[in-house]
Structure 1
Amino acid sequence: MSKVVLITGGSSGIGKSTGEFLLSKGYVVYGTSRNPERYASSKFKLIALDVADVNSIKKAVQAVIETSGRIDILINNAGAGITGPIEEIPDAEIKRNFETNFFGPINVIKSVLPQMRQQNSGLIINITSIAGYMGLPYRGIYSASKGALGLITEAFRMEIKDFNIQMTNLAPGDIATNIAAGRYHVSVTENSPYKSQYGSVLKSIDEDVDNGNDPTLVANAIYKIINTSHPKIHYKVGAFMQKFSVILKRILPGKVYEKLLLNHHKL
């Protein structure tokens, strides 16, 4: 019997590439979008879901269960970028980012767990970010929200292990997606004390995404995780130096690592 996969944020980027890849491998794939009607050409079924709306989440999960009778794999992919000096980011935008990148995925997990527990099986893959392993200048809120999801994955794994449900965290580096289009970013203003530094870093961030790895790299990594009997807690995918930076964070003194980040961003 083909396994049923639910992918949040399935209309573009990593979610779309992963959905198409798994579909080609014989999986039954459901993706989600806040506005699925905009993507009539999607190769797999898109259903309406807003990760910031609990009722929307419950309705979407129930729709999959009613149609296919089960959910074998959840890929928590929906997320949002945010950049800017932390001092200048409005509180409402900080909270909105955490609603999308942290609270939203938790609520999707809560909604699928009863079905997976009933099945006595399931796999949940949380898509975080290598940025979540470190506090990056002018991406601090994004780093914090993705880092929090990575930590909650560690706790969740231990709580659900007796139900034969597995959970893991996949952290991509820079991937060529349209995340910048939906990202909230503080404008570079003339009177900002951060104007010069932030303007330079923002330009570098956009260039890194444009030159990032193909999202099919993540799709392949997800496929390998799905076909692993005992997934690890953390996986990383991306350029060598981005993955290596996580190792450096563990072994270098804090100030030395901070200096490397400052030099990298020319700050």
Structure 2
Amino acid sequence: MSKVVLITGGSSGIGKSIGEFLTNKGFKVYGTSRTPKNYSSSKFPLLALDVKDVSTIKTSVASIIEKEGTLDVLINNAGAGITGPIEEIPEAEIKANFDTNFFGPINVIKAVLPQMRKQQSGLIINITSIAGYMGLPYRGIYSASKGALEILTEAFRMELKPFNIQMTNVAPGDFATNIAAGRYHAPLQKSSPYHTTYGKSLELMNAHVDAGSDPDMMAKAVYKIINTNKPKVHYKVGEFMQKFSVVLKRILPDTIYEKLLMNHYKL
């Protein structure tokens, strides 16, 4: 029997690429979207699910289990970008980002665990970000939400081992997706003390996404992990320098690394 896979945020970007790749490899894939009717040409079924709405999570998971009798792989991919000076980002937007990037994945995990425990098998892949390994200027909230999910996975893995349920993180670098269009931007205000530096950083961030890697790179990485007997705790996928930046943070003095980041962002 082919494995049954649930991918949150499967209507576009990395989630769509993973879903199409796994479908072509013979997996039974279910994606999710807040508005699945807008994606009628999807190559795999899209269920109505909002990671900020627990009732939609429970309904979608239950429908898959009822139809397939199993749920083998969860890919927590749904996420939201957010940029701006931390001082100027409204508290409501900060909480909304954590609801999507951190609490949302937790609630989806909670929904699938009873079935995976019953099966005595399962794999959960949390899509985080290389940005979660460091506090990036004007992306601090995004870095914090993805970093929190990375740390959570480390703890969750140990709790789930007795049930033969595996969990791992996959941290992508910059990929050519529509995440920039959908993320929250704190307004660039001329009266702001951050106007010049935030403006420069925003231009650089958008350029990185536009020139990002092909999302198929992530799809191939996820496929390889699914076919690995013992997945590692952390995976990083992206261009060499993006992955190497994590290594540099580990070996360089904090202030030297901070200076490298500030030079990179022209601060």
Question: TM-score with structure 2 length normalisation?
Answer: 1.00
1:230 equivalent to 2:234? Answer no
CA distance in structure 2 between the partners assigned to 1:109 and 1:17 by the alignment: 22
Report what 2:198 is aligned to: 198
Alignment of 1:17-96 (within 5 A): 17-96=17-96
* AA matched with 2:106: I
Alignment of 1:1-267 (within 5 A): 1-267=1-267
CA distance in structure 2 between the partners assigned to 1:245 and 1:161 by the alignment: 31
CA deviation vs aligned residue, 1:50-71 (integer Å, no higher than 9, x gap): 0001111111110111111110
Shift, 1:181, TM fit = 1.3
Shift, 1:106, TM fit = 0.4
Q: What is the SS of the residue equivalent to 2:169?
A: strand
* Deviating 4+ runs (over 2 angstroms): none
* AA matched with 2:256: V
Alignment RMSD:
0.4
Shift, 1:84, TM fit = 0.1
CA deviation vs aligned residue, 1:136-171 (integer Å, no higher than 9, x gap): 000000000000000000000000000000000000
CA distance in structure 2 between the partners assigned to 1:63 and 1:49 by the alignment: 12
CA distance in structure 2 between the partners assigned to 1:229 and 1:244 by the alignment: 26
Q: What is the SS of the residue equivalent to 2:57?
A: helix
CA distance in structure 1 between the partners assigned to 2:37 and 2:204 by the alignment: 34
* AA matched with 2:86: I
CA distance in structure 1 between the partners assigned to 2:151 and 2:17 by the alignment: 26
CA distance in structure 1 between the partners assigned to 2:95 and 2:74 by the alignment: 24
CA distance in structure 2 between the partners assigned to 1:64 and 1:214 by the alignment: 30
Which structure 1 residue ranges, 5 or more long, are not aligned?
A: none
Shift, 1:233, TM fit = 0.1
CA distance in structure 2 between the partners assigned to 1:98 and 1:257 by the alignment: 26
Q: What is the SS of the residue equivalent to 2:205?
A: helix
Percent identical residues:
73
CA distance in structure 2 between the partners assigned to 1:146 and 1:64 by the alignment: 27
The 10-residue stretch of structure 1 (61-70 or 7-16) with the greater mean CA deviation from structure 2: 61-70
CA distance in structure 2 between the partners assigned to 1:54 and 1:36 by the alignment: 17
CA distance in structure 2 between the partners assigned to 1:181 and 1:119 by the alignment: 40
Question: TM-score with structure 1 length normalisation?
Answer: 1.00
Say how many residue pairs are matched: 267
Shift, 1:257, TM fit = 0.4
CA distance in structure 2 between the partners assigned to 1:142 and 1:11 by the alignment: 21
Which structure 2 residue ranges, 5 or more long, are not aligned?
A: none
Shift, 1:187, TM fit = 1.3
